Amino acid sequence: MVQKSKEKYETNILIVEDEEDIAEVIAHFLGEIGYNIDIAYDGQQALKKAHPWTDLILLDVMLPKLDGFEVCQRLRSKSETEEIPIIFLTAKGEDEDHVRGLLLGGDDYLIKPVAMDVILARIQAALRRAHIREVETINVMGLTLFVNEFRAEYRGRDLGLTLTELELLSYLIRHPRQAYRREELLDVLWTDSKMVTQRTVDTHMKNLREKLGGFAKYIETVWGVGYCFNDTVSYEEED
């Protein structure tokens, strides 16, 4: 069996999903969080793309060529892939399918539709159980984002951010000095943007800024556009 280092800088997630829209949305969301994403659109592709460096597989059940249960079984029967955490993500909500998925060696079973933050939380839990350490903190201008712990500190003080606020902040910080329109930020944050309005972004930004304290000065409102993380701002006054 190929040994892989447990201390890594990249976590590789394979998304197996034949509905391209869904695959793209999940890939985009997880990619923004910092995961390295690969997508397989059918069961055979999934078997080809799963390798010893794959850290986790999100596996749809109803798939062309080979269904997800079959894929899971085959992955579990090969030493190179037997230990990869597998989370079923499926529209099949029957108890018997759920049980079957787990009996075949799946680590978790999520029924679509499911919120992105739930998928993320389950992924993180599965990775923790597999002892795959993710090393990700982002340090900028006195602020530290602990990406995997869902929290941020500014000058050593925990900011108490919600997941949504954290996502907003993280996205802006990862793309410094770029102004984003509200609808672009909505795309980053929610899978079903029909549920929220652009004003929702403003509300979250307002709350975020209040919690950020002295760091808020780096999050600029760009009139007529949206928001921007600007690390070149300098103010005279102390926080």
Q: What is the contact surface with Ca ion in residues (CB under 5 A)?
A: 18, 60, 62
Give least dist CB 112 to Ca ion, A: 9
Position of tokens 């997508």?
39
Give least dist CB 18 to Ca ion, A: 5
Q: What is the DSSP string of 95-161?
A: HHHHHHHHHTT-SEEEESS--HHHHHHHHHHHHHHTT-EE--EEEETTEEEEGGGTEEEETTEE---
Give least dist CB 65 to Ca ion, A: 12
Q: Which is nearer to Ca ion, 92 or 122 (CB)?
A: 92
Give least dist CB 100 to Ca ion, A: 16
Q: Which is nearer to Ca ion, 38 or 202 (CB)?
A: 38
Given CA atoms 24, 30, 36, 40 in this order, what sign does their dihedral have?
negative
Q: Which is nearer to Ca ion, 60 or 108 (CB)?
A: 60
Say if CB 94 and CB 100 are below 8 A apart: no
Q: How many CA atoms lie within 13 A of 192 on its CB side?
A: 6
Residue 104's SS3 state is coil
Q: Which is nearer to Ca ion, 55 or 60 (CB)?
A: 60
Q: Whats the size of the chain, residue-wise?
A: 239
Q: Which is nearer to Ca ion, 75 or 173 (CB)?
A: 75
What phi and psi, each to the nearest 5 degrees, are found at residue 185?
A: -70, -35
Give least dist CB 11 to Ca ion, A: 24
Residue type, 76: R
When CB distances to Ca ion are compared, the closest residue is: 62
What's the rounded Cα separation, in Å, for the pair 11 and 127?
A: 9
Position of tokens 């280092």?
5
Q: Which is nearer to Ca ion, 18 or 187 (CB)?
A: 18
Give least dist CB 60 to Ca ion, A: 4
